[in-house]
Chains A and B, each alone.
Chain A
Amino acid sequence: MSWSRYALIMVPLVLAMLVYRAGPYVLLRGCALSSRVQGVLDVIPAAAFAALVANDLFGQANVYTIGIALVTFAVAWWRRSMILSVCVGTALYIVCLALSLI
């Protein structure tokens, strides 16, 4: 690909990504937010992570992948350890893959 075509695509994309990532900070800085707006901001991570999990599972959803996700959630809730949760979930996935369950 020529560098001129590459720049034609990349420059607007880099600008768009800068606006997405830093725009909210510039807009919110110095603003006094109402409790309702703070409540909305508070739920963004939960809504985003839930959508990402559901999106990841959607294409390969069966009783095993959903079961592994639930076990991972339970381990995360119980032990509060990121490493342990990821290791347990991934190990179960590998076992199911080896047994041709997924």
Chain B
Amino acid sequence: MSAAAGMSAIQAALMSALIFTGAGQMMLNNLMLAAATPLTLVASVAAISSRFALYGTSMAHELIARKESLAKSLLACVTLTEEAFGISITMLEEDGRWEAKETIQLSCVLIATWTLANFVGAAVGERLSMDISIAAFAMTTLFVYLLAAQMWDVGHVQVGRRAVAAVASMVSLVMLRLCAVGSMSVLFAAIIGILASLLVDVVGGERA
């Protein structure tokens, strides 16, 4: 798609190495194909990628709690990908040996793989045809596992909060998609889930 949008293989690889956001890059290529202005491109991709602020906030909370050094923490945050966030946040909670260093290593491997794959894709272009639905579903199963991992080895109150956030997030995602909100649905649904959990917490606290 990057090649069709007018990028060279080097430009496509550089983009992957610099911004490393799958959904954002797909949108960027789509908008380039539609001859959008640079301002539209930047605003749209920045908007769809704003969910990284949520991941960054959650990761920052864990890194600060563990008193990781400034340099390692910043590097762990700036190299964060969706998949690295999922695995790292689970490991930081579960495995006492997992540190910012492991998060950085994982992110670097993921970014390098992503960059290489995009370079090959842009270089080979449309001559390469493959069914990516299986790989895409494997990612879905990874997110299912990470969601399940959020529910174990924590207290009942915490499980309750997280379950409320997850269910509200899923329901609102479906409603947002049905209302054709589109690519911002994930961010909005996650925020609604967080707010629902907060609301239940506040109401529960008042009753107690």
Contacts and interface: CB of A to CB of B under 8 A. Distances in A.
Contact of A89 (B45, B138, B187, B189): B138
B206 to A, nearest CB: 13
Given A40-B198, A97-B133, A54 B78 contact: no
Given A45-B146, A46-B162, A82-B142, A77 B38 contact: no
Contact of B141 (A12, A46, A72): A72
Interface string A1-44: 10101101110111011111111110111000100101111111
B152 interface: yes
B106 interface: no
Interface residues of B, number: 92
Contacts of B172: 51
A6 to B, nearest CB: 6
Contact of B63 (A17, A23, A25): A25
A57 interface: yes
B57 A41 contact: yes
B158 A44 contact: no
B147 A46 contact: yes
Nearest to B55: A48
Given A21-B52, A46-B147, A51 B173 contact: yes
B203 interface: no
Interface residues on A, range: 35 or more
User: Which secondary structure dominates chain A's binding surface?
Assistant: helix
B201 A47 contact: no
Given A21-B52, A28-B61, A29-B64, A51 B190 contact: yes
Given A20-B49, A53-B170, A73 B197 contact: no
A94 interface: yes
Interface of B: 5-8, 11, 14-15, 18-21, 24, 28, 32, 38, 41-42, 45-46, 49-61, 63-64, 70, 73-74, 77-80, 82, 85-87, 89-90, 133-134, 136-152, 158, 161-170, 172-174, 177, 185-187, 189-191, 193-194, 197-198, 201
Interface of A: 1, 3, 5-6, 8-10, 12-14, 16-25, 27-29, 33, 36, 38-58, 65, 68-69, 72-73, 76-77, 80, 82, 85-86, 88-90, 93-94, 97
Given A10-B18, A25-B64, A43-B161, 11 more contacts: A17-B20, A24-B57, A25-B63, A28-B60, A46-B162, A47-B168, A49-B146, A49-B147, A53-B147, A57-B140, A93-B134
